[in-house]
């Protein structure tokens, strides 16, 4: 592995985004608009909004980066660039980490902007530090990228890559505690949600909202989210084969 | 049938190579041939014959079911070879949403070209493929022929000893094709070995060695002159047709 090749790959992925202004707008503006919309959906229940908005900050980056990454990697497979790269002196993880770094940086910009809007303009009030909030939003982006890289191996078309969001991401969102607190679900579902990484991303957001300092839960959430993302990256790297 | 005299130094040794695809389909069937260094090797054959499969075996992208391929003394697909070869696929294997220059800089870094050399090397290959004026354009905005040349430029960036080019001149106008063949000849004179697949027969005439493949089998191997002589024909195209038809009856 080579730090230079990893960073140059991250730079390349960011350059591709830079040329695509509409995608940048969609990544940065849409989550802000949705959070704003959420405020008025919970017009009569400001306390619910105050809990839900940070949770969304753990979910948006994951969904967006998952989608973008799975399409981007599928394109690499389909357009011959992956063929070219796999015959070159690079390590597969250079490629994977390059993607992860690039999209985590995008996640950082997205999370900073959305947190700023939520905290400054929409009156969201969190007990913890806003940097902790942003940290976990970036980790959600990292997780989304890693899952996207892994899952794109199971899609043979861009159609399928988009459709995979339904079986892979939606159940995690439903069971994450966003709609109903996990301890109020049927115990089977609660146990299942213990095994889903997004649960920990959302839990971290709740922790930041309700606790002023760093908590043990946050440490656990951090370990689980980063661990799952790394596992997905390594599995994803195994799905890219040099020889077919 | 095989002309031994042209074999000075084997750059590529292909020994009894077979590739069996799922469903017991034989994509390549017991191919053996030695290919010399500094030569332009043309892979010709009807579409579906196995040209791309053989190419993917050479660059190490496809696993060989039986037999072996050795390139510069190393097993095809080995890590040490990656610095010495480049592969241009039939698709335009560059990033459409990057400029030509960004593509070149990226692949230069992937080859491990020292940072200090990247700039001059990028400028050099842009000149070679005549794309300097388009350097800052997105690949997506280029014409078909320009995209093809951008992809070729990437194949040249690492100064590889072996270039494996899958149909590099498809869709190019005759003037440009002539220029590129001039370039291929120049690279070969400089010691590079080129494996080029094509189904344009006037291009086949410009190769040093031809491998005629049909149904995964090597029907004939030799220089264009050898093939013409063997088949008592006037052109490679005629000998190609004769061999393919004879092969069909066999």
Q: Which residue in B has a C-alpha nearest to residue A95's C-alpha?
A: B110
pLDDT on residue B172: 83
Q: Is the pLDDT of residue B143 over 80?
A: yes
Percent of chain B's residues with pLDDT above 90: 72
pLDDT of B6 above 50: no
Contact status of A21 with chain B (Cβ, < 8 Å):
no
Q: Closest-CA residue in chain B for A80?
A: B93
Give mean pLDDT, residues B202-206. 88
Measure Cα distances from B155 to B126, B176, B209 in Å.
12, 17, 21
User: Nearest residue of B to residue A21 by CA position?
Assistant: B97
- Per-residue pLDDT at B200: 81
Give the pLDDT confidence of B125-142 residue by residue, as tens digits: 999 999 999 999 999 999
Please tell me the distance from the alpha carbon of residue A238 to that of residue A240, in angstroms, as a whole number: 5
Stated as kind and residue range, the H or E segment containing B56 is helix B51-58
Q: Over 90: is that where the pLDDT of A38 sits?
A: yes
- Is residue B29 packed enough to be buried (19+ CB in 10 Å), middle (13-18) or exposed (0-12)? middle
Disruptive mutation site among B21, B96, B106 for chain A (greatest number of A CBs within 10 Å): B106
Contact A16 B110 (CB under 8 A): no
Residue B79's Cβ-count burial label (10 Å; 0-12, 13-18, 19+) is exposed
A138-157: pLDDT as tens digits = 999 999 999 999 998 888 89
User: In chain B, what residues touch A6 (CB-CB under 8 Å)?
Assistant: none
Query: Mind listing the pLDDT tens digit for each residue in A66-102?
Result: 999 999 999 998 899 999 999 999 999 999 999 999 9
Q: How far is B29 from B14, CA to CA, in rounded Å?
A: 12
Q: Is A87 on the interface with B (CB under 8 A)?
A: yes
Assess whether pLDDT exceeds 80 at residue B250: no
Distance CA B47, CA B167 (A): 11
Token code pair at residue B12: 């590529």
Instruction: Tell whether A3 is within 8 A of chain B (Cβ).
Output: no
The answer to whether the Cβ–Cβ distance between A15 and B94 falls below 8 Å is no
Average pLDDT over residues A19-24: 93
pLDDT band at B1 (very low <50, low <70, confident <90, very high): very low
Is residue B20 exposed (0-12), middle (13-18) or buried (19+ Cβ within 10 Å)?
middle
pLDDT in tens, B71-111: 999 999 999 999 999 999 999 899 999 999 999 999 999 99
Going by C-alpha positions, the residue among B79, B92, B103, B87 that lies closest to residue A92 is: B79
Tens-digit pLDDT profile for residues A181-224? 999 999 999 999 999 999 999 999 999 999 999 999 999 999 99
Q: Which residues of B touch A80 (CB under 8 A)?
A: 89-93
**Chain B partners of A88 at a C-beta cutoff of 8 Å?**
82, 86, 107, 110-111, 158
Q: Quick: pLDDT tens for B7-32.
A: 456 899 999 999 998 877 889 999 99
Residue in B60, B89, B99 nearest the CB of A243: B60
């Amino acid at each position: 592995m080579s730090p230079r090749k990893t960073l140059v790959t991250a730079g390349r992925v960011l350059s591709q985004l830079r040329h695509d202004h509409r995608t940048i707008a969609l990544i940065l503006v849409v989550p802000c608009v949705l959070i704003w919309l959420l405020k008025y959906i919970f017009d009569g229940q400001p306390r619910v909004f105050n809990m839900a908005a940070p949770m969304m900050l753990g979910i948006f980056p994951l969904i967006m980066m998952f989608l973008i990454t799975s399409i981007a990697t599928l394109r690499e497979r389909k357009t011959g660039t992956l063929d070219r790269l796999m015959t070159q002196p690079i390590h597969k993880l250079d490629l994977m980490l390059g993607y992860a770094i690039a999209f985590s940086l995008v996640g950082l910009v997205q999370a900073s902007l959305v947190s700023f809007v939520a905290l400054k303009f929409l009156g969201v009030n969190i007990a913890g530090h806003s940097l902790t909030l942003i940290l976990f939003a970036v980790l959600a982006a990292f997780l989304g990228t890693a899952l996207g890289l892994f899952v794109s191996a199971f899609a043979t078309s861009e159609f399928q890559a988009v459709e995979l969001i339904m079986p892979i991401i939606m159940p995690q969102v439903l069971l994450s505690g966003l709609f109903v607190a996990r301890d109020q679900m049927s115990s089977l579902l609660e146990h299942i949600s213990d095994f889903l990484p997004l649960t920990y991303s959302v839990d971290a957001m709740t922790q930041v909202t309700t606790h002023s300092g760093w908590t043990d839960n946050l440490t656990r959430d951090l370990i689980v989210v980063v661990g799952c993302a790394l596992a997905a990256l390594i599995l994803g790297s195994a799905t890219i084969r040099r020889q077919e | 049938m095989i002309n031994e005299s042209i074999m000075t130094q084997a750059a590529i040794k292909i020994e009894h190579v077979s590739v069996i695809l799922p469903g017991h389909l034989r994509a390549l069937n017991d191919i053996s041939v030695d290919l010399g260094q500094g030569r332009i090797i043309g892979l010709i054959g009807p579409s579906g014959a196995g040209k791309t499969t053989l190419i993917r075996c050479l660059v190490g992208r496809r696993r060989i079911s039986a037999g072996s391929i050795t390139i510069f003394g190393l097993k095809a697909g080995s890590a040490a070879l990656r610095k010495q070869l480049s592969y241009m696929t039939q698709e335009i294997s560059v990033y459409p949403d990057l400029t030509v220059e960004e593509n070149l800089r990226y692949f230069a870094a992937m080859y491990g070209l020292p940072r200090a050399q990247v700039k001059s090397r990028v400028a050099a290959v842009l000149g070679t493929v005549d794309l300097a004026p388009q350097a800052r354009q997105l690949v997506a905005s280029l014409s078909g022929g320009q995209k093809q040349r951008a992809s070729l430029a990437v194949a040249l960036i690492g100064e590889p000893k072996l270039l494996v080019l899958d149909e590099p001149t498809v869709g190019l106008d005759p003037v440009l094709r002539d220029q590129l063949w001039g370039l291929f000849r120049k690279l070969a004179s400089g010691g590079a070995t080129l494996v080029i697949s094509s189904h344009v027969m006037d291009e086949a005439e410009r190769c040093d060695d031809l491998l005629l493949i049909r149904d995964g089998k090597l029907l004939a191997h030799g220089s264009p002159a050898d093939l013409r002589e063997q088949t008592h024909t006037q052109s490679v195209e005629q000998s190609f047709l004769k061999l393919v038809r004879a092969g069909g009856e066999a």
